[in-house]
Amino acid sequence: MSLLRVTGLTRRFGGLIAVNDVTMAVEPRAIHGLIGPNGAGKTTLFNLVSGVLKPTAGRVLFDGTDITDRPMHRLVRLGMVRTFQHSQLFPGFTVLRNVLVALHAHTGFGLLGGFFGSRAERLRRDELARKAHEIVEFVGLADRAQDLAGDLPHGCQRLLQVAVGLAPEPRLLLLDEPVAGLNHGDVDRMMELVRNLRDRQGITVVLVEHNMKAVMGVCDRISVLQFGRLIAEGPAQEIAQNPTVIEAYLGVYDDAA
């Protein structure tokens, strides 16, 4: 069964149809790419799936549960986490504290948790700190753990975003342009990390990306959006040869002109 299924998803902004009747499915343990020219509706689709926006029509099913209209923070418990196109971090916190907040937001602690600073509470704090360290190490930021997130170079900030997204132990991770603005070395590092997410942690990944080389290198399946419509879907090699896709990206050569 598909982990994520989207049927007839539509979103209008006034006269503009940003996402138009999109139906697609993401299989478990896949790395699924979502590509398309600027303004194709990729991020809007992400926002609809992750509960940031409400769809005008259509349904979203996660692991068989209907999650249409559910607010974002309630999807985390089900096992779905998303990251954002523009680095969203807690800039005034250290790298470790960024992950720590995400960790205990997810483990649940109650209104009075840690109020009295009891022994049990301290043990729990240590336990979470250890987990946070593991995650920071996994994304390769161990030597930066005590730096302020806002002071990190862009590449490290993108890695930290993935680390924060990993803290709630998602089954499905939605990455919105994880390599946007990164240099070659950092792109490779990020793609290596995405591959590791699936291979070592069994996490299903959906990623929106502009960087074709990165997408083709890492994705099993790719869906292509144009003007809010799904125009192609299939394995990476097939999509790279698909004339409709090439046309969408490069335009048609017009002989008459």
Partner 1 sequence: MTSRLGVAALIVALLILPLGVHDPYLLHVLILIFLNVMLATSMWLLGITGLISFGQAGFMFIGAMTSALLTKRLGVSFWVALPIAGIVAAVIATPVGRLSLRVKGVYFFLVTLAFGEVVRGIFAYFQEPFGGWYGIRDIPPPSPRWLFTPLDKLPFFYLGLVLTVLTCWVIWRISRSWFGEVLWSIREGELLASSVGIDVLGHKLAAFVVSAFVAGLAGSFYANYVGYISPLIFDFQYSVSILIFIVVGGLTSLAGPVVGAVVLTIVPEVFRASGKYQMLIFGLILVGSMMTMPDGITGALRRFGKWYTRRAA
In the complex, the residues that contact partner 1 under the rule CB under 8 A are 50, 71-74, 76-77, 81-84, 88-93, 100-102, 104-106, 109-117, 164-165, 167-168
Task: Provide the edge-to-edge strand list for the sheet that holds 221-226.
Answer: 80-82, 172-176, 204-208, 31-35, 221-226, 229-235
CB of 85 to partner 1, least distance (A): 11
Instruction: Output 69 or 238, the one with its CB closest to partner 1.
Output: 69
Instruction: Output 44 or 83, the one with its CB closest to partner 1.
Output: 83
Instruction: Output 20 or 50, the one with its CB closest to partner 1.
Output: 50
CB of 173 to partner 1, least distance (A): 11
Terminal Cα distance for the chain, rounded: 49
Tokens 């070395």: give the residue: 185
- Give me 192's structure tokens: 């290596």
Q: Phi then psi for 115, rounded to 5 degrees?
A: -65, -45
d(CA 82, CA 4): 13
CB of 67 to partner 1, least distance (A): 14
Strand, coil or helix: 100 = helix
d(CA 107, CA 58): 32
Instruction: Output 115 or 253, the one with its CB closest to partner 1.
Output: 115
d(CA 230, CA 221): 14
Q: Is the distance from CB of 95 to CB of 149 less than 8 angstroms?
A: yes
Instruction: Output 21 or 147, the one with its CB closest to partner 1.
Output: 147
Instruction: Output 35 or 173, the one with its CB closest to partner 1.
Output: 173
CB of 106 to partner 1, least distance (A): 5
CB of 65 to partner 1, least distance (A): 16
Q: How many Cβ atoms from other residues are within 10 Å of residue 71's Cβ?
A: 11
Instruction: Output 47 or 223, the one with its CB closest to partner 1.
Output: 47
CB of 112 to partner 1, least distance (A): 7
Q: Closest Cα to residue 25, out of 72, 61, 69?
A: 61
Q: Is the distance from CB of 147 to CB of 97 less than 8 angstroms?
A: no
CB of 185 to partner 1, least distance (A): 26
Alpha-carbon separation of residue 230 from 10, 18, 23, 67, 219 (angstroms) = 11, 12, 8, 21, 17
